[in-house]
Amino acid sequence: SSLHDFLVAVPKVENHLHVEGTLEPAMLFAFAARNHVELPKEPEWANVESLKARYSKFTCLDDFLRYIYLGASVLVKAADFEELAWAYFVKAASMRVRHVEVSFDPQMHTVRGVSYDVIVEGLMAAKRRAVKQLGMTIEYIACIHRHLPLADSTALVDVILERRHLTDGTICGVGLVSSEKPFPPVMFADLFKRVAPTGTKLTAHVGEEVGPEAVREALQCLNVSRVDHGLTAAQDPKLLEELARSRTLLTLCPWSNVALGILPELSQSPVRRFLDAGVRFSINSDDPAYDGAYLQDVYCRVQDTFNLTLEEWDWIVRGGIEGSWVGEERMKELL
């Protein structure tokens, strides 16, 4: 469409991107070899092509999560995390992404014996390089895993607070991820209350597979200022009104929803409903190496499906910037 050139050229921000979700199969196999990590024996793990073919057939969130956890097992050393994040930053810069809010899942690694400090060391090294060499800004969001025993998440919060990472600029926000179904937000209310006094930003993955009640619960029980996905909020007109009034950012990942089998096709994404309701939202990639589309592709696919106007794209891109967790000065540069 005529907007294609605009969508390539427009400076972008990404509010919803998991660094572990940028692990391309080629890098996965290379890291497994150099770290002597054994991968599953099933035929889908034979090579890059067979693994990609399996990624194209995810049936639900938990099916996808099984693969991202297996993939993450090749990340062992600080240098692995640095190389992974750096490769994404280079790709992002080539898509004119100027600012990224990068989620990482410490428990995806600490459960395997990789220390929190090793992860952060690698990620911070990549951030310093990207800021200096690519002129990007990057903020990290530490995400709590819902499916693990609460004591495990409490131990993670203990370490983050002990290191003072929520106040020294290392981590800008705390999120909630992994299986949504049997783990309602209220289970994490006390943990979120413990980190809130630091002034850290709060978000949660909700309304991806569970209905609008999960979005309401995250807003009420966790006091999040942003909602990751929030897809099912579209089913609740009153909630949409409240989200519009409070200018809460939803970090939509329309292609991820299709890739994980949550939506049958992109045309089913409630992009129009959110636009009509005046809800602030951004378009994001989520786990591009697993979903098969980086941010530029997602923008273009959304445009091919919905044929949005320049004004509508302006609203979306602006929403992502104004909902970003950056200081006033940087926000002015991005706008």
Amino acid code (one letter) for 241: E
Contact with Zn ion (CB under 5 A) among 14, 180, 217, 286: 286
* Inter-residue contact 316 to 279 (CB < 8 Å): no
Identify any residues that bridge with 229 across adjacent strands, giving them in sequence order.
Answer: 206
With respect to Zn ion, which residue has the nearer C-beta, 234 or 260?
260
The DSSP result for 83-137, as a single string, is: HHHHHHHHHHHHTTEEEEEEEE-HHHHHTTT--HHHHHHHHHHHHHHHHHHH--E
Residue sitting closest to Zn ion (CB) = 286
As a whole number of angstroms, the distance between CA 181 and CA 224 comes to 19
Other C-beta atoms closer than 10 Å to the C-beta of 231 total 28
CA atoms of 209 and 241, how far apart (whole Å)? 21
Q: Which of 14, 20, 139, 208 is catalytic?
A: 208
Residue 49 falls in the annotated catalytic set: no
The candidate with the shortest Cα–Cα distance to 103, out of 328, 335, 333, 325, is: 325
Which CB, 52 or 318, lies closer to ligand HPA? Answer: 52
Q: How far is the CB of 256 from Zn ion (least distance, A)?
A: 7
Min dist CB 21 to ligand HPA, Å, is 5
Q: Minimum distance from CB of 308 to Zn ion (Å)?
A: 23
Q: Is 99 labelled as part of a ligand binding site?
A: no
Cα separations in angstroms, 278 against 256, 269, 314: 23, 16, 13
Binding site residues, ligand HPA, CB under 6 A:
18, 21, 61, 68, 177-178, 205, 208, 256, 286-287
The answer to whether the annotation marks 286 as part of a ligand binding site is: yes
User: Taking the complex as a whole, how short is the minimal distance between the CB of residue 143 and Zn ion, in angstroms?
Assistant: 8
Q: Which does 145 bind (CB under 5 to 8 A by kind): Zn ion, ligand HPA, none?
A: none
Asked if 67 and 54 count as a contact pair (C-beta separation under 8 A), the reply is yes
Tokens of 57: 């057939």
Instruction: Determine if residue 145 is labeled as part of a ligand binding site.
Output: no
Amino acid sitting at position 115? S
Which CB atom, from 83 or from 287, has the smaller least distance to ligand HPA?
287
Nearer to Zn ion, 32 or 252 (CB): 252
Six token digits for residue 132: 């200096």
Interface size with Zn ion, residues (CB under 5 A):
1
Q: Which residues fall within 8 angstroms of residue 193, CB to CB, at 6 or more apart?
A: none
203 binds, among ligand HPA, Zn ion, none (CB under 5 to 8 A by kind): none
The minimum distance between CB 229 and ligand HPA, in angstroms, equals: 7
Query: Residue 178 binds which entry of ligand HPA, Zn ion, none, with Cβ cut-offs from 5 to 8 Å by kind?
Result: ligand HPA
CB 291, CB 65: distance < 8 Å:
no
Binding-site sequence positions for substrate? 287
Where is the binding site for Zn(2+), in residues?
16, 18, 205, 286
Annotated binding site: 16, 18, 205, 286-287
Q: Which residues are tagged catalytic?
A: 208
Residues that bind Zn ion (CB under 5 A): 286
